[in-house]
């Protein structure tokens, strides 16, 4: 064996090491520590904001604290729309761990095909909405499945207790709780309020681990109280729906106005939809026809033509107008009545709905005079009402009118308007010559109108409307039990392309009650009735009668007649 090495006598250890080398090593370590200390000081003090910002980008989040959306109420405080708590399901797909049975159960609770669920969970690794705004019982069942990577977020879901009866009034919101139609859209800002916020630190799984900064509380949305009476609305919708179905019509609309305050008491359309169940919603259901559909008003314009002539001093109620032989040629066109009425008073022209009589009365005025009155009544202008989608209609400048166009406008052809515009214009008769502003919001104050006709002439036209709705007129089916009524029926061929369809009609009736001191105006339109009857006096007037009677009773208006009117069963005479 070799001898043991004596390290103490090793030549390497015995050799002298230069002093500078040890100093260099010590200095290097010192500089390294100084560098680290300097870097730490730089990060913690000098560049603190930058690195804190970078950390926040990765882990800090600002969470919205949603404001509770305001309610929509009817005039009596009944809830038409409100928000209820709901849960939305989201996932981190790369973290999802579920058995085939769990996925099947989840798909069933979500009412979603398994293939669609798997596709959603495969679209994004970090985040995906699985389904928004589920009812709480369903959300609790999903939570009970205990699937890793599936999470829930509390939100609000909009509910509409009155359903399809008032859908076109209240409208609806999207999944982000923003108004899309109706009152929800018009008053979205007030209803929505203002969301609050809080800053938090989240881990990679999206869990809140710490609150940072001050919390900003949300500002709750305001409640909106409408002028609509839900009971009147329900009854009007029900009777309209029954009439559309019975007459095999395409659609229908009804508008009810308060003649004192200008409030809209009801605005219904059929077909309709359920606002919170819109999976198979079509454009036909969504259209608010009373506001958006325009048509030639037909005979409902004749009272306005007569009122113009009375106001201009060209005729009086008993002035005789020769309508024989029941037709009149002008500008290469022949305008006809349904019968040869011979000589009629101005009152008789309205009662019998004579086209020839109306055009002869119009010929006593200038186009400018007629145009000014139409404009004063709101035709050719966008209705001044807080509601989306209200259309302007069509009224050409009077300088472009030909004599035949002035003639046809006297009985409602050559201009167009919505049912809402038509109902609004009749406030000038109900309010003693003043057209009043209309509103969708509850108002206790009487409306202040703009004078269009004198009170005397407005009352004279009301008497003519009463004659038109009585036996011997064109709308006896508008009569009600206990209340006097007045109104005008209308029937017009529908325009198709550049001409008129021979077998497609719109029928309507617009009137008011009680006739001596009107409290409401009701306008009804039935689109394309096809069950054998199409005159406004036959298909629209009965709806008017039922809505008037029920509405006045609900409003507590005392009956003004004590006997039941005689309802004639003979065929109703009607002019196009």
Annotated active-site positions, please? 299
How would you class 319 by CB atoms within 10 Å of its CB: exposed for 0-12, middle for 13-18, buried for 19 or more? Answer: middle
Q: CA 482, 488, 493, 494: dihedral to nearest 10 degrees?
A: -80
Neighbours of 131 (CB within 10 A): 20
How would you class 180 by CB atoms within 10 Å of its CB: exposed for 0-12, middle for 13-18, buried for 19 or more? Answer: middle
| Cβ-based neighbours of 85, under 8 Å, separated by 6 or more | 136, 154, 155, 156, 157
SS (H, E, C) 211-234: EEEEEECCECCCCEEECCCHHHHH
Number of alpha carbons in the 13 Å side-chain half-sphere of residue 374: 30
User: Which residue is associated with the tokens 């009985």?
Assistant: 411
**Is the preceding peptide bond at 271 cis, omega within 30 degrees of 0?**
yes
Cα angle 78, 80, 82; round to 5: 105
- One DSSP character per residue, 18-55 reads PHHHHHHHHHHHHHHHHHHHHHHHIIIIITHHHHHHHH
Instruction: Report the relative pairing of strands 72-73 and 224-225 from DSSP bridges.
Output: parallel
What's the token pair of residue 396?
A: 């050409």
What are the distances in angstroms from CA 127 to CA 80, 87, 92, 560? 35, 16, 5, 68
What's the token pair of residue 3?
A: 């001898």
The conformation of residue 166, written as its DSSP 8-state character, comes to G
d(CA 419, CA 270): 14
- CA 144 to chain centroid, in Å, comes to 39
Of 156, 89, 141, nearest to 117 by C-alpha is 89
In 323-410, at which residue ranges do the beta strands (DSSP E only) sit? 327-330, 333-336, 343-345
d(CA 412, CA 410): 6
Q: Contact at 8 Å (CB) between 327 and 356?
A: yes
Task: Enumerate the β-bridge partners of residue 87.
Answer: 134, 154
The conformation of residue 537, written as its DSSP 8-state character, comes to H
Task: Enumerate the β-bridge partners of residue 298.
Answer: none
H/E element, 464: helix 455-468
How would you class 61 by CB atoms within 10 Å of its CB: exposed for 0-12, middle for 13-18, buried for 19 or more? Answer: middle
H/E element, 463: helix 455-468
Instruction: Report the relative pairing of strands 327-330 and 486-496 from DSSP bridges.
Output: unpaired
d(CA 191, CA 550): 32
């Amino acid at each position: 064996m070799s001898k043991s090495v004596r390290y103490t006598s090793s030549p390497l250890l015995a050799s002298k090491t230069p002093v500078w080398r040890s100093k260099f090593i010590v200095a290097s370590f010192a500089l390294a520590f100084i560098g680290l200390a300097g870097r730490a000081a730089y990060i913690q003090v000098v560049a603190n904001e930058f690195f804190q910002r970078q950390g926040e980008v990765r882990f800090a989040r600002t969470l919205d604290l949603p404001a509770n959306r305001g309610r929509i109420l009817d005039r009596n405080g009944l809830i038409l729309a409100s928000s209820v708590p709901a849960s939305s399901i989201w996932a981190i797909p790369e973290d999802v761990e579920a058995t085939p049975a769990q996925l099947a159960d989840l798909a069933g609770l979500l009412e979603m095909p398994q293939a669609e669920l798997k596709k959603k969970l495969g679209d994004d690794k970090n985040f995906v909405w699985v389904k928004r705004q589920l009812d709480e019982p369903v959300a609790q069942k999903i939570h009970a499945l205990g699937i890793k990577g599936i999470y829930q977020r509390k939100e609000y879901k909009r509910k509409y207790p009155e359903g399809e009866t008032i859908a076109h009034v209240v409208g609806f919101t999207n999944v982000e709780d923003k108004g899309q139609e109706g009152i929800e859209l018009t008053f979205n800002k007030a209803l929505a309020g203002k969301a609050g916020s809080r800053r938090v630190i989240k881990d990679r799984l999206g869990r809140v681990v710490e609150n940072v900064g001050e919390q900003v509380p949300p500002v709750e949305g305001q409640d909106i109280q409408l002028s609509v009476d839900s009971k009147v609305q329900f009854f009007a919708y029900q009777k309209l729906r029954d009439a559309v179905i019975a007459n095999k019509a395409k659609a229908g609309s009804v508008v009810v106005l308060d003649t004192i305050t200008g409030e809209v008491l009801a605005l219904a359309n059929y077909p309709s939809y359920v606002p919170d169940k819109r999976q198979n919603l079509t454009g036909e259901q969504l259209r608010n026809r009373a506001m958006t559909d325009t048509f030639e008003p037909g005979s409902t314009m004749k009272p306005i033509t007569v009122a113009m002539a009375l106001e201009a001093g060209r005729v009086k109620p008993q002035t005789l107008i020769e309508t024989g032989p029941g037709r009149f040629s002008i500008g290469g066109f022949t305008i006809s009545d349904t019968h040869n009425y011979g000589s009629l008073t101005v009152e008789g022209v309205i009662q019998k709905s004579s086209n020839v009589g109306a055009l002869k009365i119009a010929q006593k005025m200038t186009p400018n005079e007629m145009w000014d009155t139409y404009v004063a009544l709101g035709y050719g202008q966008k209705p001044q009402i807080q509601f989306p989608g209200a259309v302007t209609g069509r009224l050409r400048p009077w300088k472009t009118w030909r004599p035949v166009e002035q003639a046809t406008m006297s009985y409602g052809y050559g201009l167009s308007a919505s049912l809402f515009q038509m109902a609004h214009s009749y406030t000038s008769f109900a309010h003693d010559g003043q057209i009043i502003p209309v509103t969708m919001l509850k108002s206790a104050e009487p409306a202040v109108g703009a004078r269009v006709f004198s009170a005397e002439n407005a009352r004279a036209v009301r008497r003519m409307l009463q004659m038109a709705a009585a036996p011997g007129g064109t709308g006896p089916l508008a009569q009600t039990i206990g209340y006097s009524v007045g109104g005008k029926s209308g029937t017009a061929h529908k325009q198709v392309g550049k001409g008129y369809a021979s077998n497609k009609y719109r029928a309507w009736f617009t009137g008011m009650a009680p006739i001596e001191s009107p409290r409401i105006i009701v306008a009804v339109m039935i689109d394309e009735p096809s069950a054998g009857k199409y005159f406004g006096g036959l298909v629209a007037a009965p709806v008017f009668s039922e809505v008037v009677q029920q509405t006045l009773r609900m409003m507590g208006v005392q009956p003004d007649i004590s006997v039941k009117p005689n309802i004639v069963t003979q065929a109703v005479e009607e002019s196009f």
